[in-house]
Structure 1
Amino acid sequence: MTKFESSVKQIPHSQQSVYNTLSDMSNVQRLKDRLPDGDTGNADMDKVKDKLKNLTFDQDSLSISVEPVGQISMRIIERDEPKTIKFESENSPLSFNFWIQILPVSDNSSKMKLTIDADIPFFAKGMVSKPLQEGIEKIADALAMIPFE
């Protein structure tokens, strides 16, 4: 297994608020609803918008089409309120575990880090390591943008 970690993201909301939002995957709709329509002029934001068009989810799972890997699906397998949400891949080309760690900073702020532990065949490590590291960082950025309440 190969581990990939995002940088720590500061979030101006309480640990409990962040946990409540991220522990229910149907809240991902908030992120999709916040994206502007049309061409934003920001290449990175437009790429995120294109990716989210292929995103499906319910309370406990989400699925997204990622180039060049294909369809990736994961399901929540453990919730440790208010600090950790753990996922496991299902029906995906790569076997992996994914977790979100949320730590309090103050009553009104917290920090978050994402980790992927993937079972990558040796011959594919060179091809997928950089995209996975970049991907986990972009996912962390996107999750930090959600309007937590």
Structure 2
Amino acid sequence: MGLQKYVSDIKTIEQNHEIVYNYLSNFENLSTYVNDGLLAKMNESVPQIKVTDFESDSDSCRFNISGMGQAEIRIIDREPHKTIKINSSGNLPVGITFWIQLLPVDAYQSKIKLTLHAEMSMMIKMMVNKKLEEGINQLADMLTKLPYA
């Protein structure tokens, strides 16, 4: 198993950093958004992996991955209005630690950067490395478009 690091470009969100932090630090806010279209887009773009049965509470998200079973991601640390740290558990073939970092620009604008550390075998890395490199920026772009208000 080897550790890989993926870092997004710094993106801008047209919203106050405290509002963005409060929204992203509660996984219940993501449940409707994920179930109302994001899962379908993910399953369409990566048809080899089907994600279903997404559910969440304030600290964790659980979902099923075809052929692998139930997986979970959990918020393990919050630094108010700055950082959200997330860890994986369950039946994922990749162990992840994920940071969402926020920085205020002004009262109505924030910067966001995502960092993903993935523990995976060389075989899995060969299969998903390019997708993760692209996906970290796609996820950052998606987070700039969430309905924070």
Q: TM-score range by the shorter chain?
A: 0.7 to 0.9
Alpha-carbon distance in structure 2 between the residues aligned to 1:82 and 1:22:
10
Match of 1:7 among 2, 6, 9: 9
| Contact kept? 2:51, 2:65, Cα under 8 Å | no
**Distance apart, 1:66 and its partner CA:** 5.9
Alpha-carbon distance in structure 2 between the residues aligned to 1:87 and 1:103:
18
Tell me the TM-score normalised to structure 2 length.
Answer: 0.79
| Contact kept? 2:16, 2:110, Cα under 8 Å | yes
Letter in 1 for 2:93: P
Deviates more, 1:115-124 or 1:45-54: 45-54
Deviates more, 1:10-19 or 1:118-127: 118-127
State the superposition RMSD in angstroms: 2.8
User: What SS does structure 1 have at the residue aligned with 2:97?
Assistant: strand
Percent identity, aligned pairs only, is: 37
5+ residue gaps in structure 2?
45-49
CA deviations 1:68-108 (Å, max 9, x no partner) are 98754210000001100001111022111011001111111
User: What SS does structure 1 have at the residue aligned with 2:93?
Assistant: coil
Alpha-carbon distance in structure 2 between the residues aligned to 1:115 and 1:45:
22
Q: Flag the 1:71–1:123 CA change in 2: closer, same or farther, 3 A.
A: same
CA deviations 1:99-142 (Å, max 9, x no partner) are 10011111110011111101121233221111222222232222
Match of 2:21 among 19, 22, 32: 19
Letter in 1 for 2:100: I
**Distance apart, 1:7 and its partner CA:** 1.8
**Distance apart, 1:9 and its partner CA:** 1.7
Q: Flag the 1:54–1:16 CA change in 2: closer, same or farther, 3 A.
A: same
5+ residue gaps in structure 1?
36-43
Alpha-carbon distance in structure 1 between the residues aligned to 2:51 and 2:112:
21
Q: Flag the 1:148–1:33 CA change in 2: closer, same or farther, 3 A.
A: farther
Tell me the TM-score normalised to structure 1 length.
Answer: 0.79
